[in-house]
Structure 1
Amino acid sequence: METQRTGVPPRLASCARMPEWMRHFGHPTGLLGALAGHLMALKNRKRSLSVLTLVDPRPGERILEVGFGPGLDIRRVSRAAAFVAGVDPSPVMLRQAQRRNASAIRAGKVELAPGDVRSLPFADGAFDKAFSINSAQFWPEPFLAVQELRRVLRPQGQLVLAVQPRSVGADARTSRETAEELAALLAANAFEAVTSTLKPAGRVPIACAVATKPAAPGKG
């Protein structure tokens, strides 16, 4: 499957089309956004734990999450990894995540920042792994976002993207097509060992794509 270098691939775009009351899950703002963050914290545990088996955080690793929401996955990953950074465009989510990770932030194990995935505030090759759960469908320019994620990964670093479609009528087929689009997006950015998979989650599985940044020139 080919992917677009501009705009949002069709299936990802459909995943982002939610009922009006659900728009705060994409970019939480104000009181409703704060409530959406608390709801995500309550409801998304199983999905997160399932996707994090693909991330597989390990001691010594530096890991980036894009779209950290209420900050629970940051906390989960920071228990295993050496350092975890996160970027989210929502000030509401930033405040919630900072409260949940206050001790790890003070200890220098976690760094959270407001920001856009298309312009990450990190050096080239800063991370061993990066991941995003239910955020990619809201990226206005997914190709540029993945290009930027590739930049901040070290050679042979791993990227995991996961989306559980929430559009009206979404089903297992929607998830399969979404996983294929995510994989195509990674392949279009010259990632290697690209795979797509579905994680069980009731009627609408979680669409996942995993890939590796190529080794540096001259390396094995």
Structure 2
Amino acid sequence: METQHAHAPARLASCARMPEWMRHFGHPTGVLGALAGHLMALRNRKRSLLVLTLVDPRPGERILEVGFGPGLDIRRVSRTAAFVAGVDQSPVMLRQAQRRNDGALRVGKVELHQGDARSLAFADDSFDKAFSINSAQFWPEPFVVIREMYRVLRPQGQLVLAVQPRTIDASSRTSQETAEELAALLTSGGFQEVTSALKPAGRVPIACAIARKPTLREPAR
């Protein structure tokens, strides 16, 4: 079990075999990273809107996004939620997201951090919901990230993970297997009411897993 926690599941680990240019979508740097961010902003609207129906942001909620990229989903969620925080390891994405959320940042409705999702800069039980879209496949230690997201969620807080496989041979079967692995990851991290789903989005569906933190605190595994 410890070995399983230390490494990404098979489908998520496939990003290690991605060409170098594709890795800029996981950790955008330099000019290519900036271009990747602008491309994500242009191409990913449909996927984001589909996944955000699962997040279902509501007035009064505090919501966290891990891997905010160019910051468009932060902006979408902040239109409804009371407060939205985000963390992304890329300084290039941080700058793009800051520009897109300038007004909300100035009034304190949005808070953005450059950092490692394995060590979130938030107190225990800080958020009602958390989500991550097309970021989990780039996490070097998915179990550690999931336990951090578990920590910062309030009891009965909801977590949504979504990944749309982008490898050349990806198919609906790839998405189904990815959804199952995401669900297994959430279960191993202590979440309950875990379900998986596929959201239609062209040839390769979006793999989603949804879960809740239990009301009674469980010891870390």
Residue 10 of structure 1: SS of its match in structure 2?
Answer: coil
Residue by residue, what CA displacement relative to the aligned partner does 1:97-130 show, whole Å, maximum 9, x if unpaired?
Answer: 0000000000110000001111000000000000
Contact 1:193 1:211 in 2 (8 A): yes
Deviation by residue 1:17-51 (Cα, 9 ceiling, x = unmatched): 32322221110000110011001000000000000
1:33-89 deviation digits (Å, cap 9, x = unpaired): 001100100000000000000000000000000000000000000000000000000
Q: Which amino acid aligns with 1:209?
A: A
Which digits, 9 at most, give the CA deviation of each residue in 1:161-209, with x for residues without a partner? 0000011200000000000000000001111100000000111000000
SS in 1 for 2:24: helix
Counterpart Cα distance in 2 of 1:171 and 1:16: 18
The percent identity for this pair of structures is 80
Change in Cα spacing, 1:16 to 1:159, as seen in structure 2 (3 Å) is: farther
The whole-number CA distance in structure 2 between the counterparts of 1:17 and 1:91 is 24
Equivalent positions of 1:40-119 (< 5 A) are 40-119=40-119
Does residue 214 of structure 2 align to residue 214 of structure 1? yes
TM-score normalized by structure 1?
A: 0.96
Q: Which residue of 2 aligns with 1:171?
A: 171
SS at match of 1:103: helix
Point out 4+ residue stretches in structure 1 off by more than 6 angstroms.
none
Deviation, 1:16, is: 5.3
Long gaps (5+) in structure 2? none
Partner of 2:202: 202
Distance 1:4 1:171 in 2: 25
More off after superposition, 11-20 vs 147-156: 11-20
CA-atom RMSD in angstroms: 1.1
Q: Distance in 2 between matches of 1:8 and 1:191?
A: 18
Residues of 1 paired with 2:185 and 2:99: CA distance?
34
1:23-38 alignment, distance < 5 Å: 23-38=23-38
Distance 1:8 1:87 in 2: 20
Q: 176-185 vs 4-13, which deviates more?
A: 4-13
**Quick check: 2:15–2:23 contact (8 Å CA) kept in 1?**
no
CA distance in 1, matches of 2:66, 2:211: 16
SS of 2:64's partner is strand
- Matched residues in 1 for 2:21 and 2:165: separation? 16
Aligned to 1:22: 22
Ranges in structure 1 where 5+ consecutive residues have no aligned partner: none
Distance 1:188 1:5, change over 3 A: same
2: distance between equivalents of 1:46 and 1:33?
21
Count of aligned positions: 215
Is the partner of 2:31 in helix, strand or coil?
A: helix
